[in-house]
């Protein structure tokens, strides 16, 4: 039974959630949560490690018990401990936890006092005003619950790009090995690099479709076959994600790839261009009457309608066709352009690795510089750094800089922006650093005007380099806070500071629209991982995808600069 890391991680999270509602020992719960994160970020499949007989206990936070569960999951696809736990609760209870603001304590009350066991019941109870009087709730909470349920309904069942990738890569590897299979490509929103995807659209070139289709529906992760045809089949995988597969001829491959990459709006615009030239553009090719003109490659398809190749990330009918016609398509930034990462944590606050480990891992990835930006004191629970601890870290960084060749470590902080826009450390302390990242980690629900004012004030402090994860959104989970981001971007341009594009696949915060806005305002965007451990350093690729969707070029991105170019840019934001 094949089980991916995302599946194993989901099992551990669910166990933690259920233990939490049950009121179990917090250490036990945290062990499961940590394990879920470790597994999610591992970078290689646990099932391969199990198969190779590797010792799972060398992984951070994985002891005997968790190692056993992983082996069980890999070998049987199930986890008896979870099955047992689940039997004690109604099946919808963990859905309640997915509502922002509803922690295990509140879910326990909802379940215990009102017998609420599902989102539908929760919504009904909130509408009838039955929630506000529960202990620890209130009218505001009731409103927030209703709003959150609405958001969930609007986004429907979508998958994070990073999760979809796990399933897509395993499936394409399987398809590529089939006899007779030629090219295998994932098209759709996945290829356009959207931050979430609704389903996967896979194209395979082959002489004979039948054998490919038979093998596809027989793939061992398939839970349900929705369609099994000659040119098109569709299945649902055990993870719940739907996959549409089409077998196409080489002659039509480019046309099909173009069609199924979308977006739909982009396709319609291209088809319209074709019509003006008396051409028909569809998934089989470009035709004049019955005559086939092009379709082997996407480049050919675009050329037939008089356009240069348009990168998939731009295909949203957001001005890319006009830009292409006028020869002003952006020359999009690439992963290899990035020279460093300016936001990461160490075990001095809530990171998993030491300063040295992070520096060496970054060097291994070819970076020329990193900034260490642990949390400020307000986040006490996770060991935020005060002036004294920062000074000690500065000494350690100086020593490491002397020792290591080829990578420079910059001294920074991720300082909390307090409710009134003050920063969580005195100016005199901030002044000792190379850069200051400001973040909102509290009071998410201030009214828009106040929230905006708060950020503007923070930016105006004498030491302020960039605003991190600017909208605070968590994909499929938490809406952005109310914030006048266009105003903040204009202000950043005047102030001369930068905006982060947080590359974590759960955030991808800045979105494409605001990336374009920053570019137009002349505000440099910094693509940062915000890594809390070594594997997360590899999230830069998601940040690049998002930056490309936002039309960013190499010159628009702060951390494409050389260290020599970067230093004065940072110094200026620090008032030097």
Binding footprint of Zn ion on the chain (CB under 5 A): 414, 530
Q: Which is nearer to ligand DGT, 175 or 523 (CB)?
A: 175
Q: Would you tell me which residues interact with ligand DGT (CB under 6 A)?
A: 188-189, 194, 197-199, 201, 259-260, 262-264, 267-268
Position closest to Zn ion via CB: 530
Least Å distance, CB 69 to Zn ion, is 30
Query: Which residue of the chain is nearest Ca ion when measured via CB?
Result: 188
**To the nearest whole angstrom, how small is the minimum distance from the Cβ of residue 201 to ligand DGT?**
5
CB of 345 to Zn ion, least distance (A): 6
Counting contacts by CB under 5 A, is residue 193 touching Ca ion? no
Three-state DSSP state, 374: strand
Which of the choices ligand DGT, Ca ion, Zn ion, none does residue 498 contact, using the CB cut-off of 5 to 8 A by kind?
A: none
Identity of the residue, 60 or 239, whose beta carbon is nearer to Ca ion in the bound complex: 239
How many residues bind Ca ion (CB under 5 A)? The answer is 4
Instruction: Look at the alpha carbons of 499, 502, 506, 512 in this order and tell me if their dihedral is positive or negative.
Output: positive
Rank residues 264 and 555 by Cβ distance to ligand DGT and give the closer one.
264
Instruction: Give me the helices (H) in 431-470, please.
Output: 448-459
- Rounded least distance, CB 195 to ligand DGT, Å: 10
Question: 65 or 169: whose CB is closer to ligand DGT?
Answer: 169
- Taking the complex as a whole, how short is the minimal distance between the CB of residue 225 and ligand DGT, in angstroms? 18
Mode of pairing for the β-strands spanning 466-467 and 498-502: parallel
20 versus 530: smaller Cβ distance to Zn ion:
530
Selected range binding Ca ion among 192-200, 203-211, 444-452, 489-497, rule: CB under 5 A: 192-200
CA distances from 82 to 12, 14, 266, 521, 548 (A): 8, 8, 45, 51, 41
Q: At what angle do helices 64-76 and 26-40 cross, to 10 degrees?
A: 50
Question: What is the Cα–Cα distance from 540 to 13, expressed in whole angstroms?
Answer: 25
Residue with Cβ nearer Ca ion (241 or 518):
241
- Omega cis (within 30) before 263: yes
Least separation, in Å, of the C-beta of 259 and ligand DGT?
6
Query: Which among ligand DGT, Zn ion, Ca ion, none contacts residue 530 (Cβ within 5 to 8 A by kind)?
Result: Zn ion
The minimum distance between CB 169 and ligand DGT, in angstroms, equals 17
x-or-dash pattern for Ca ion, window 243-282, by CB under 5 A? -x--------------------------------------
Sheet of 285-288: strands edge to edge? 280-282, 285-288, 291-294
Is 45 a binder of Ca ion (CB under 5 A)? no
Q: Output the CA torsion sign for 184, 189, 192, 193.
A: negative
| Helix, strand or coil, per DSSP, at residue 291 | strand
CA dist 240 and 222 (Å) reads 9
Residues 6+ apart with CB under 8 A from 92: 117, 118, 119, 120, 121
Token code pair at residue 277: 């030239």
Token couple for 288: 């004049």
- Contacted entry of Ca ion, ligand DGT, Zn ion, none for residue 267, CB cut-off 5 to 8 Å set by kind: ligand DGT
The distance of closest approach from Cβ of residue 233 to ligand DGT in the complex, given in angstroms and rounded to an integer, is 14
State in angstroms the smallest separation of the CB of 391 from Zn ion.
20
Structure tokens at 28: 């036990």
CB of 204 to Ca ion, least distance (A): 15
- Judged by CB, which is closer to ligand DGT: 262, or 285? 262
Q: Following CA atoms 152, 158, 161, 163 in sequence, which dihedral angle do they give, to the nearest 10 degrees?
A: 100
In this complex, which beta carbon is closest to Ca ion, that of residue 232 or of residue 336? 232
Binding-site string for Ca ion from residue 132 to residue 171, where x marks contact by CB under 5 A and - marks none? ----------------------------------------
Q: Which two tokens stand for residue 387?
A: 């002036």
Minimum gap (Å) between residue 267 Cβ and ligand DGT: 4
- Burial tier of 122 (Cβ tally within 10 Å: 0-12, 13-18, 19+): buried
Nearer to Zn ion by Cβ, of 11 and 510: the residue is 510
* Candidate segments 33-41, 173-181, 237-245, 538-546, binder of Ca ion by CB under 5 A: 237-245
Q: Which is nearer to Zn ion, 414 or 416 (CB)?
A: 414
Q: What tokens were used for 476?
A: 């499929």
Interacting partner of 414 out of Zn ion, ligand DGT, Ca ion, none (Cβ under 5 to 8 A depending on kind): Zn ion
Q: Indicate which single residue of 95, 199, 386, 538 sits in contact with Ca ion (rule: CB under 5 A).
A: 199
What is 232-262 written as a DSSP string? EEEEEETTS-EEEEEEE-GGGHHHHHHHHH-
The one-character DSSP state at 118 is S
Is residue 81 within 8 Å of residue 15, measured between CB atoms? yes
> What is the rounded distance in angstroms from the CA atom of residue 113 to the CA atom of residue 116?
8
Ramachandran angles phi, psi of 40, nearest 5°: -60, -35
Report the nearest approach of ligand DGT to the CB of residue 260 (Å): 5
Nearest Cα residue to 558 out of 512, 531, 518 = 518
CA triple 526-529-530, angle to 5 deg: 100
Q: Which two tokens stand for residue 514?
A: 């605001």
Tokens 């649902």 appear where?
236
188 is an interface residue for Ca ion by CB under 5 A: yes
- Measured at CB, which residue is nearest to ligand DGT? 262
Q: Is residue 312 a contact residue for Ca ion (CB under 5 A)?
A: no
Length of the chain as a residue count: 576
Residue 371 CB, shortest distance to Zn ion, in Å, is: 11
**Nearer to ligand DGT among residue 268 and residue 382 (C-beta):** 268
Q: Which is nearer to Zn ion, 342 or 547 (CB)?
A: 342
298 binds, among ligand DGT, Zn ion, Ca ion, none (CB under 5 to 8 A by kind): none
Given the complex with ligand DGT, which of 262 and 505 has the nearer CB atom?
Answer: 262
Which partner in ligand DGT, Zn ion, Ca ion, none is near 264 (CB below 5 to 8 A by kind)?
Answer: ligand DGT
The span from the CA of 465 to the CA of 456, in Å, is 13
Q: Is residue 399 classed as helix, strand or coil in its secondary structure?
A: helix
Instruction: Write out the residues near Ca ion by the rule CB under 5 A.
Output: 188, 199, 201, 244
């Amino acid at each position: 039974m094949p089980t991916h890391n995302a599946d194993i991680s989901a099992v551990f999270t669910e166990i933690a959630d259920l233990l939490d509602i049950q009121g179990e020992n917090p250490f036990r719960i945290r062990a499961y949560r940590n394990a879920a994160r470790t597994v999610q970020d591992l970078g290689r499949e646990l099932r391969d490690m199990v198969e190779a007989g590797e010792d799972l206990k060398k992984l951070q936070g994985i002891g005997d018990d968790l190692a056993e569960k992983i082996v069980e999951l890999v070998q049987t696809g199930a986890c008896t401990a979870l099955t047992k736990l689940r039997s004690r609760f109604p099946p919808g209870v963990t859905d309640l936890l997915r509502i922002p603001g509803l922690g295990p304590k509140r879910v326990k009350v909802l379940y215990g006092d009102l017998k609420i066991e599902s989102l539908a019941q929760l919504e009904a109870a909130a509408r009838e005003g039955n929630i506000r009087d529960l202990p620890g709730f209130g009218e505001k909470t009731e409103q927030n619950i209703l709003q959150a349920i609405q958001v969930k309904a609007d986004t429907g069942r979508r998958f994070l790009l990073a999760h979809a990738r796990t399933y897509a890569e395993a499936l394409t590897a399987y398809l590529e090995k089939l006899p007779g299979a030629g090219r295998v490509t994932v098209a759709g929103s996945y290829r356009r690099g959207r931050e979430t995807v609704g389903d996967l659209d896979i194209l395979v070139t082959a002489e004979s479709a039948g054998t490919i289709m038979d093998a596809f529906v027989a793939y061992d992760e398939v839970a349900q076959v929705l369609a099994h045809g000659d040119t098109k089949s569709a299945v649902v995988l055990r993870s719940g994600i739907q996959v549409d597969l089409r077998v196409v001829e080489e002659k039509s491959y480019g046309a099909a790839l173009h069609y199924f990459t979308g977006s739909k709006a982009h396709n319609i615009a291209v088809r319209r261009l074709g019509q003006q030239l008396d051409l028909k553009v569809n998934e089989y090719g470009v035709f004049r009457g019955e005559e086939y003109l092009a379709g082997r490659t996407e480049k050919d398809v675009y050329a037939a309608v008089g356009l240069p190749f348009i990168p998939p990330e731009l295909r949203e009918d957001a001005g890319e066709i006009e830009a292409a016609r006028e020869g002003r398509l952006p020359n999009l930034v690439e992963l290899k352009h990035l020279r460093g990462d300016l936001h990461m944590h160490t075990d001095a606050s809530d990171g998993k690795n030491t300063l040295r480990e992070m520096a060496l891992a970054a060097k291994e990835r070819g970076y020329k510089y990193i900034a260490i930006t642990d949390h400020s004191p307000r986040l006490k629970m996770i060991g935020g750094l005060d002036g004294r601890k920062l000074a000690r870290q500065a000494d350690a960084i100086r020593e490491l800089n002397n020792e290591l060749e080829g990578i420079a470590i910059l001294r920074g902080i991720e300082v909390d922006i307090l409710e009134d826009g003050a920063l969580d450390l005195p100016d005199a302390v901030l002044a000792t650093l190379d850069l200051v990242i400001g973040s909102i980690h509290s009071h998410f629900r201030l009214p828009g005007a106040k929230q905006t004012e708060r950020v503007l004030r923070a930016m105006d402090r004498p030491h302020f380099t960039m605003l991190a994860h600017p909208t605070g959104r968590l994909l499929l989970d938490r809406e952005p806070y109310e914030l006048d981001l266009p105003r903040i971007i204009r202000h950043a341009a005047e102030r001369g500071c930068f905006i982060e594009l947080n590359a974590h696949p759960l955030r991808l915060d800045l979105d494409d629209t605001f990336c374009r806005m920053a570019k137009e305002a002349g505000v440099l965007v910094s693509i940062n991982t915000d890594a809390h451990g070594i594997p997360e350093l590899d999230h830069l690729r998601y940040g690049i995808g998002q930056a490309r969707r936002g039309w960013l070029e190499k010159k628009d991105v702060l951390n494409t600069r050389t260290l020599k170019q970067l230093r004065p840019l940072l110094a200026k934001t620090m008032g030097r």
